[in-house]
Structure 1
């Protein structure tokens, strides 16, 4: 039987958690709200009424659509390349024993532990030394480099939790390594690959610091927002930000549902959330 102290403790924990969530998501709520603001001037800092005109004309601001398209293309290419490379790196680290495995494992984590300012400055120096002109390609290389570690960690966690007996059974039935990889391993890895892809996409499309060092004349969405902020952020920026937020959240919940369904098929118990009592 719960005592009064237990009820108070549960209530305080729930209230504190709710306040923390509100603090974290308040800026997001403001962005969504002000995408519908009927601002009359250049600045979009005060609420002046509800309107849908900015959603009807999202490309009204010159350069915004191009910057958004550039960011989407870079994020998509980064996701494809990072997931492809990171999956095979994770397979090599988990399934095989070879000289230099420990050093490789440490190198994978290094970009994650390096501050973005340091990473961006290092990449800038490297590109200048190599004689590469800063632009779309250098931003893509930089994004693949710092998202690769997240892919390896995500896929590696999925690999370590997989039942290898299924792959061994396929090999016993005559399946080669390539057949086992494409028909057994990768389908079992699918939820982890989806999570890694979603994480890579979100990190890439959101990046400002590294892109600022490596973009040159290429303008991504975060760089456009930074430049526009000096003269007042147009409401169309909030429109694009809200659209990206909705897409990412929908993909995130779809991936969570997929992972739960895959876990049930594999016979893994899925824990249910417990109410906090607020």
Structure 2
């Protein structure tokens, strides 16, 4: 078997990273471009960031998308954790196939179909029960949660199946209830999966366009919808400035989350080492 040389491997790796991240670097650089033409550099300037602060439509849409993304990430982690734990630990119970299919359906179903289905559900519910009244943050939040629960459930399910059950069995032998075992032992052990699922749900919700278009109403336009409508009329340097701010916030969030998970992992490893030493 012929092994590739190191220079070739590094070249391929460098090209791959360049393909992924060079457009983002260019976007950040052109956010400081003085020209109105996005692709023509005419000098360094921060005026587009100042213009962004005066763009009420863009800021309100960004704030709405941020609120929806945070709510979606939190609700998806709660529901997805329960679903993933059931799939991993409860075995093949009655209607297991139906339950697993319902959890995994949003992964393979076209987003247009999901958006139309949820919209029809809300329309019928409003006619029968008077709720929800119109379309807004609540309807978008529910729709995004439906999309993101599947991703969290899969991440949690895979993590739970990898757990060593000896700690849980030892706690059960010492008299701990299943509920206490879940919150005191299982949840800390799968905390990395929960953080990963939260970040993934946050990103998917913040980026969603199709479902938001179906479930939004007057006064509840999300950021992707505003950007899509403006880009159709031509590129705007304000978009580069806004994207740079989001990239900065997301990067800082990912770095902090990674540091938190590594610290938690080191702390658990140290606690387990001390526990074995004491034995």
Q: TM-score, normalised by structure 2?
A: 0.84
Q: Aligned equivalents of 2:59 and 2:268: distance in 1?
A: 44
Instruction: Name which of 74, 98, 123 aligns with 2:68.
Output: 74
Could you tell me which runs of 5 or more consecutive residues in structure 2 were left unpaired when the two chains were aligned.
Answer: 127-131, 270-279
Greater fraction of residues in helix: 2
Say yes or no: does 1:51 pair with 2:51.
Answer: no
Q: Is the 8 A contact 1:61 1:236 kept in 2?
A: no
Instruction: Name which of 108, 124, 144 aligns with 2:103.
Output: 108
Q: Aligned equivalents of 2:24 and 2:112: distance in 1?
A: 25
Describe the SS at the equivalent of 1:91: helix
Could you tell me which runs of 5 or more consecutive residues in structure 1 were left unpaired when the two chains were aligned.
Answer: 268-278
- CA shift, 1:237, in A, is 2.5
- 1:128-167 equivalences under 5 Å are 128-131=123-126, 132=132, 133-167=134-168
- CA shift, 1:103, in A, is 2.0
- CA shift, 1:120, in A, is 2.2
- CA shift, 1:67, in A, is 0.5
Describe the SS at the equivalent of 1:23: helix
Q: Which moved more, 1:186-195 or 1:127-136?
A: 127-136
Q: Which residue of 2 aligns with 1:206?
A: 207
- CA shift, 1:166, in A, is 1.0
Q: Aligned equivalents of 2:157 and 2:222: distance in 1?
A: 31
Q: Is the 8 A contact 1:82 1:144 kept in 2?
A: yes
Q: Is the 8 A contact 1:71 1:205 kept in 2?
A: yes
Q: Is the 8 A contact 1:225 1:233 kept in 2?
A: no
- CA shift, 1:87, in A, is 0.7
Residues 13 and 129 (structure 1), Cα distance of their counterparts in 2 relative to 1, 3 Å cut: farther
Q: How far does the alpha carbon of each residue in 1:182-212 deviate from its partner, in whole angstroms, 9 at most, with x for none?
A: 2111111111111110100011001112111
Q: Aligned equivalents of 2:14 and 2:109: distance in 1?
A: 32
Describe the SS at the equivalent of 1:58: helix
